[in-house]
Structure 1
C-alpha cells in the first residue's frame, strides 16, 4: 500500500516508519528542508527507543522516503495521513491551521477518479474530520465528492514505548461511516492486530473524542494521586502503601498511580486544556478537568517549599543539582517538563543550577542556553552542590552510587520528585531526604 505521511514530528516519524516496516511504501513530507535532508541521509531527528533500527532498515530498503513536495507524496498514495501539530492557542483551543492548510492543498491535488483516504492522526477536537472534508471540497470543488473519505484514527503512543505501542496496539480506533474507507483501513492494520486486539470502528466525532477522553482520564488519575500524596504528608501516611492498596483493585488498576511533581509532555497538558475548551464551546463547564489542571500546575512546584525551608528561605547563592530534564524517562521531549518549572523557580530565588539528563541535554541547551550549567554525567552535576533534586525517573537514577553522591554534594540532601529511593535506605545512609507523599527522612 502506498502511503503519504504529512509531518515528520514525533507521531509522523513513528507512524511512517512502522507502516513501512510491514511492507508499505511510505513517503513522509515536511516543509523543513534541512530536516528532510537529515532524515534522507539516515539521521534520525527524535529519540525513541527501538525506532532508529526500524528507520534505518526501511530507509535502506527504500520503503521509507522523505520529501518537501506534497505533490510528489500525494500523487500515487492511496492513504494520506495527517500528522501535523495542533498547538494550543491563547484560549487553550487546538490550533487547526496546519491541518486545514494542508487540507486546502489536498483539494487542489486530489483527482476525481483517483480515490484516496485522508486520515487524521493528529489529536484534534470533535468536528475536525468534518472541517477537513469541507476544506478539501472548498478548494477542490464538487467534482471531488466521492473521490476521497476523511477518517479519524487517533494515535495512542506513549513516548518511550511508541514503537511497541504501534506494532502491538491495545486497540485501534477508527472513525468513519464509509464502507470503502473501512476496507482500506482494515487492510492497513491487519498485520498489527493478528493476535486479536480490536479494531474499533465508530463515527468520526466519537473517535475524535475518544483520544481526548483517554488522555484526560489518565491525567485525572495522576492529579488525584498527587492530591492523595499531599494528604499522606499531612496525615503521616505513606502514599506508596495507599497506592498498592488501591492499585490491587482491578477496577482501578496499578498504572498511573505514582505520585510526583506533575505530568508534562506534548499530550496531557494540551489535550486536557483542549477538551475543557471544547466543552466550553458547547456551554459545559468541565469542572473535574479544570481541577486536574489546577492541581498539576501547583504540583510542578510541590518541592519548592521544602527546599526553601531547608535553606531557611535563603536560596540565594545556593547551588542545586538536578537529575532529569525530559518530562518522562526514555524520551528527549522537554515540552511542559516539570524540571523546567523547578529550574525557573530556583533561578528566581537566586540559586544556581547544574543539570543532567541522559537524552534531553541538547533540547534543553537550545531553550535555556547558559542560564544553567550542564553536567557531563549524573555525578558531575553534584560537585559542590548544596542539594540534589530528582525531576525525572530515568532507570539509571534508581540505583546510584550513594557514596559518590555523598562525596560530591556539600550536604547529604536529596529532594526526590519521583520517589525513587527507599526510606529505610535513606535513613541508614544518613541522608536528609524529602519525597512526595511520604515522611521526610531527617
Structure 2
C-alpha cells in the first residue's frame, strides 16, 4: 500500500524545536515512486482522519509514536570495545581502539560488525547516524552495503590518519585522498546514504592530508566533514605543540578549510567564545557525547554557552567511548552534565529539548533540516513506536504523568531498549 495511517499518542516537532503532542494522534505516510515513504499528514486523530476518510489505520493505542532518534557521532568499529577500562582518552585509544580497528582490513569482519551495529542501532530506536569507519576502504564499503540493504539514512567515511598512528591503521597521504574520492563517487547520495570526509583528529593527520581533506570538502560541498575537537586536556596540549601557528585547536580545522555547513565535530568541550562564534558563523556543529565524556573523564560540554552563542549542536552516543547506544541513556547523561557545564550556573535541560537534540535538532545540526527528525509533512517517515508501560516501574510512573514534560522525562530516566517496541523506516 502506498498510503498508510497509524493511530497512537503522537510526538512531533516544528522546525524551531517546539514539541507538538497529540494524546490521540494520527500519522499518515505515503510511499513515492522511489520506494521511500514520507509523512503526508499528522496531527490529532479527529482532524487528520477527516482529511483522509476511509483510510485503513493501524491502531497502536497506548503507545507513543515519535521521530526516530539521530546519533550525531558514533564509531561502528568500536562496538566490540565498549566498556573497556582505561585511564583516559589517549591510553584508551592505544590499548583498545587501535587494535580493534586494525581488524577492519578484513571485509568479512567489517561486514559482520556493520550488520550487527546497524541492528543494534535500530533496536535502540536510532534510525540515522553519522559514524566513523576505519582507515580501510573495505570498512566503508561494508557499512554502506549493510545500510543500503536496510534502506537506512546513514552517513560514514574512510578515516584519514597518516601520522602518529600504529602500523595497520596509518595510511599513506596521497592514497588516502584518492581512496576517499573514489568512495565519495561510489556511495555519496546513493539512496539514503551520505559520505563524510573524516580526518580522525588533527594530531593524526599531516598538514598535507588536512589540506587534501579541505580540498575534497570544497569540491564535494554537499558531503559531510566529521572529526573530533577539544575533547581532553592532554589532546588540546598536544595539538598546541603540533600546530603552534593556530590560535586554537578549532582554528587548525579552519585553516585547512574544514569548517562549513555539514561539518560535525565531536565533543567541543574546551572551546572559548571565539571558537563558538566561529562554529556559528561557519555553520559547523558540535556532536555532544555525554556518556563518553563522563566515562573517559574528559569534561563537560557547555550547553549554556552553546545556546547563548547560537552554536549548532545535538546529541551523540560516541560508542565505544560512550557507554550505550540507547538515546535514553544519552539524554539522561546530557541532563546530568548540562548542570555541570563550564559556566557557573550550568543549565537544566527540559525533557523536550533533550528529545529535540536527539531528533530534529540533530537533523538540523547535520544539515538535514526537513528530511528526518520531526515527522513534519514532507519529511521521511522514520519513526519509532514506544511503550510507556514497558517495565512495571515505568508504567507506574507514566500513568501518573501530568504533562508531556513529565511523560518524556520518565521515559528518559527509566527507559532503555525495552521501551522501543517497533521501528519503522522510510
Q: TM-score, normalised by structure 1?
A: 0.25
More helix by share: 1
More strand by share: 2
Larger radius of gyration: 1
By relative contact order (CA 8 Å, sep 6+), the higher-ranking structure is 2
